[in-house]
Amino acid sequence: MSDWFLQQEYGVRFEWGPTGARQLAPDVACLVVVDVLSFTTSVTVAVEAGTQVFPYAWRDESASTFAQNKRAALAVGRRAVTSASPWSLSPARLRQAPFTPRLVLPSPNGSAIAAAAGDSTVVAGCLRNATAVGRWLARHGYGTVERPLAVIAAGERWPDGSLRPAVEDLLGAGAIIDDLRSRGVGPLSPEAVAAQACFTRTLDVADAVAACSSGLELVRSGFADDVLIASELDASAIVPVLTDGAFNHGTDGTGARPRTGSAG
C-alpha cells in the first residue's frame, strides 16, 4: 500500500478507530485518543482522583489476570457494578467509587487505539480536557511536520464489528484540534480541518452529545449522568499520558481556559 493515507504533509492529522491508529502510528510522534463516551472521559475522572489507569483491550477472563498481574482493581461493565466491584467505564460511577491507586479499564476501542501506538506518545483527550491537551501538546512541541501528531476519534461498533463513526468523538477531536490551531500549531490536514469545523459550527456541544446516537443509548439505559460528565467542556486541566503502560497525571499546572456555552 502506498502512503497516500498518512497525511504526511501535515503536522496535525485526524483519523478514525483502531485501524486508523495502527496505520498512522508509525509515522507520528504522538497519538491523541478521543473516546468521549466513555473511555477517555473515564480516564480523566480516574486520573483526577490520583488513580493510575491501565488500558486493556478485551473484556474477558484475561482482563482479570491482567489486573492481578498489575496489582490493580478491575473495572467491570456499567450494569455489572456491585459493592465488591464498584469501578466501571461509567464516569459517574468512578466518581462515586472508593479510591483505588491502580485500575484496569477494559475498552475495545480506546484501549485498542492506545495499544496501537507503538513508540509514539499517547495522550487521552476528550471534551473535558480539550484545552489542556492542546496546551500540553503545543508546549511539548508536537504538531509540527517534524513532530507530527494524530488525533484519533475512537468511534463505536456496529453489531457486525465494523466502525460506526460517532459524533461525540468527532466533537472531542475537533475541540482539541481547534485549540491547537488557536496556538498556531500545524499545518492541519484537511481531515483535521473538517473535524475542527464540526466542533466550531456546533452551537451547543452538550446538547449534541446528549442527542446523538451514543448519548441516547446511555440516557435511555439510565446513564444520563455519564453523558453530562462527558459534556463538561474544559472542566479539567489533567492531561493523562500513557507511561509504562498506565495513564498518569500529566497536568500542565496552568488551568484550563473555560469554553462554556456554545463552541462557536
Q: pLDDT of 208-221, one tens digit each?
A: 999 999 999 999 99
Q: What is the mean pLDDT of residues 226-231?
A: 98
> How confident is the model at residue 108, as a pLDDT?
84
Please tell me the total number of residues recorded for the chain in this structure: 264
> How confident is the model at residue 115, as a pLDDT?
80
CA–CA distance, 149 with 165 (Å, rounded to integer): 20
Q: Say which residue, 77 or 10, is predicted with more confidence.
A: 10
pTM for this structure?
A: 0.93
What pLDDT band is residue 94 in, cutting at 50, 70 and 90?
very high
Q: Which domains does the chain have, with CATH numbers?
A: 11-48+108-241 (3.90.1560.10)
CA–CA distance, 99 with 107 (Å, rounded to integer): 20
Strand-pair partners of 153:
16, 34
Contacts of residue 222, defined as CB under 8 A and 6 or more positions apart, other chains included, come to none
**pLDDT over 90 at 2, yes or no:** no
Q: By three-state DSSP, how is residue 65 classified?
A: helix
| Amino acid, single-letter form, for residue 172 | G
DSSP state for residue 188 in the 8-state scheme = B
CA–CA distance, 144 with 188 (Å, rounded to integer): 9
CA–CA distance, 258 with 198 (Å, rounded to integer): 19
Q: What is the mean pLDDT of residues 83-87?
A: 91
pLDDT digits (tens, 9 = 90+) for 106-117: 988 888 898 878
Sheet containing 149-153: order of strands: 12-16, 149-153, 30-34, 121-125, 241-243, 246-248, 52-56, 102-106, 73-74
Q: What is the mean pLDDT of residues 250-256?
A: 51
**pLDDT over 80 at 260, yes or no:** no
